[in-house]
């Protein structure tokens, strides 16, 4: 299955002031195969529809939820009185504080892992069945987020807290445990490595893979091999990706200069920051900042 169009920033319009968008709409006719620039969460509120991915087809109805990572391709066929909410979010905004989220590893696995890791299965679409008793509470939480989004100056603190709470409840009140998601059930050695990287980025100390390996009781070679096998990239590349993701979050603050951000994150100079940022995001730091400071 190949995508015939992309749901991208021109449609979603995420920004520093509105890093979440919720779109209510009917599915009245088939939707051709398409992919996404951002994660999409599609909540089926009523009716039914045939959902197609490269892996196969499945009939969805009220209580089902589709989680499509960036680049994931899917389509809809044979809708019957189907109404959905599509949710999109700027992952870098949530990834600015991964230390707390790692303790809720199911949230990372379901809703953020494609931005962190490179293993093939991170691009797989997930379908969850939400427990029926949770549906009224889920819809109430979505309405609260929608109400905040239409305020003249939405509170980012409120939005982040409400959205993370909703994602955590979804992971608990669904069949998410039926299929493993990276983040859940990590070996303690890998968990330690991830937490050490976050502590380093938070400015507590310089990151050392050797030191993390010693704390885990493994050789550096063995631990880095485990890391690559589980996550699809080297420890060094993951560290660089996380530095750039923090830079993305800092760029959403117009008061912080590019030079200040580069210095705070330990880049040797502006050119190093520019090259590293563009390698991970495909954009320059200045272009990224411009992209997400949109007129509302």
* pLDDT digit string, tens, across residues 264-286: 888 888 899 999 999 999 999 99
- pLDDT category at 47 given cuts 50, 70, 90 is very high
- Segment 212-241, tens digit of pLDDT: 787 777 788 888 888 888 888 888 899 999
Of 25-34, 96-105, 242-251, the poorest mean pLDDT is in 96-105
Nearest to 166 by CA among 138, 133, 130, 126: 138
Query: What pLDDT, on a 0 to 100 scale, did the predictor assign at position 204?
Result: 58
In the chain, pLDDT over 90 holds for what percent of residues? 57
pTM score: 0.89
pLDDT tens, 200-216? Answer: 888 756 777 787 787 77
Taking Cα atoms as reference points, which of 5, 69, 12 lies closest to residue 31?
5
Lowest mean pLDDT among 2-16, 94-108, 134-148, 156-170: 94-108
pLDDT at 294: 57
Query: Is 22 exposed, middle or buried (CB count within 10 Å of its CB: 0-12, 13-18, 19+)?
Result: middle
Question: How much is the mean pLDDT over the chain?
Answer: 88
- Ordered domains of the chain (ranges, CATH): 5-178 (2.60.120.280), 188-291 (1.10.10.60)
pLDDT of 50-83, one tens digit each?
999 999 999 999 999 999 999 999 999 999 999 9
- Kindly report the CA angle at 47 between 73 and 53, in degrees rounded to 5? 15
Average pLDDT over residues 93-109: 81
């Amino acid at each position: 299955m190949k995508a015939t169009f992309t749901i991208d920033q021109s449609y979603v319009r995420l920004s520093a002031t509105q890093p979440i968008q919720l779109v209510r709409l009917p599915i009245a006719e088939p939707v051709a195969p398409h992919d996404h620039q951002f994660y999409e969460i599609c909540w089926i509120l009523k009716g039914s529809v045939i959902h197609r991915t490269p892996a196969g087809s499945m009939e969805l109805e009220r209580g089902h939820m589709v989680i499509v990572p960036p680049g994931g391709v899917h389509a809809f066929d044979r809708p019957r009185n189907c109404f959905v909410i599509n949710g999109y979010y700027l992952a870098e905004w949530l990834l600015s504080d991964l230390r707390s989220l790692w303790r809720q590893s199911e949230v990372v696995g379901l809703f953020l892992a494609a931005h962190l890791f490179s293993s093939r299965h991170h691009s797989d679409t997930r379908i969850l069945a939400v427990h029926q008793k949770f549906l009224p509470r889920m819809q109430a939480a979505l309405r609260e987020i929608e109400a905040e989004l239409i305020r003249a100056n939405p509170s980012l603190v409120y939005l982040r807290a409400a959205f993370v709470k909703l994602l955590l409840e979804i992971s608990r009140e669904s069949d998410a445990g039926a299929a493993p998601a990276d983040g859940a059930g990590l070996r303690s050695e890998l968990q330690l490595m991830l937490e050490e990287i976050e502590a380093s980025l938070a400015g507590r100390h310089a990151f050392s893979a050797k030191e993390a390996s010693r704390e885990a009781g493994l050789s550096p070679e063995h631990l880095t091999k485990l890391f690559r096998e589980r996550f699809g990239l080297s420890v060094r590349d993951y560290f660089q990706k996380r530095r750039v993701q923090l830079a993305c979050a800092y760029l959403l603050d117009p008061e912080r200069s590019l030079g200040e951000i580069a210095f705070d994150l330990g880049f040797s100079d502006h050119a190093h920051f520019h090259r590293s940022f563009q390698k991970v995001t495909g954009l320059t730091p200045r272009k990224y900042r411009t992209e997400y400071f949109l007129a509302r």
